[in-house]
Amino acid sequence: MIIAVDGPTASGKGTIAKALAAHFGLPHLDTGLLYRAVGRQCALNGGNPDDPADALRAAAFPDSLLADPELRSEESGGLASRVSIHPSVRQSLYERQRAFALQPGGAVLDGRDIGTVIAPEADVKLFVVASVAARAERRFREMQAQGRSVSLAEIAADLEARDLRDRTRAEAPLVAAPDAAVLDTSNLDRDEAITAAIGIAESRRNTESRQGT
């Protein structure tokens, strides 16, 4: 079973994807981390994330970079949004994501184009959303817990900028697949969001099972 979980930054899709993977006993891939690694590598190279050539060179990052805690920073998130608009970067990471999705037994992947580009044949597609205010508050608490100094207003402005880039990019824009179930987590806590997502996934799986018999 392939489960695709898409949505904007800080919507809760990562937490939901991990919970779905644990519930169904499937491997999980945070595809956004790949783009964060490209953005981080581009910065380490002294490159310009808005330059396609610099961004593509950074796509050859070492696997060890995926363990760098700096990838979870707001700065790396912003860089990821900038390098992800380049078709060459997306293509370079496509096969890695595709192979993960198609492994025997299935997998759970979360990102921004899983249900539309990486695994359009996914058995379950979730598009997780939340208001900018709710997402900014969540990210603000995360940053505070990590001891990072950033204002709520700065986070909200950054989220809005990322949303605009992700939704308007020519290559694989952030959009819900036509057959995706939309889950709004604005007013849900962590456990409520996970319970709702599992319920949707179980329902979709049971429907597929009945149709296949």
What CATH number is attached to the domain comprising 65?
Answer: 3.40.50.300
Comparing C-alpha atoms, which of 9, 21, 31, 8 is closest to residue 124?
21
Pair 127, 177: CB distance under 8 Å: yes
Full residue range of the structural domain in which residue 28 is found: 2-212
Tokens standing for residue 202: 């179980």
pLDDT tier at 4, thresholds 50, 70, 90: very high
The per-residue pLDDT for range 118-175, each reduced to its tens digit, is 999 999 999 999 999 999 999 999 888 888 888 999 999 999 998 998 899 888 889 9
Which residues make Cβ contacts (< 8 Å) with residue 53, sequence separation at least 6? none
* pTM score, whole prediction: 0.86
Per-residue model confidence (pLDDT) at position 213: 44
* Number of domains making up the chain: 1
Residues 90, 100 contacting (CB under 8 angstroms): no
What is the predicted pLDDT for the residue at 145?
A: 87
pLDDT above 90 (res 207): no
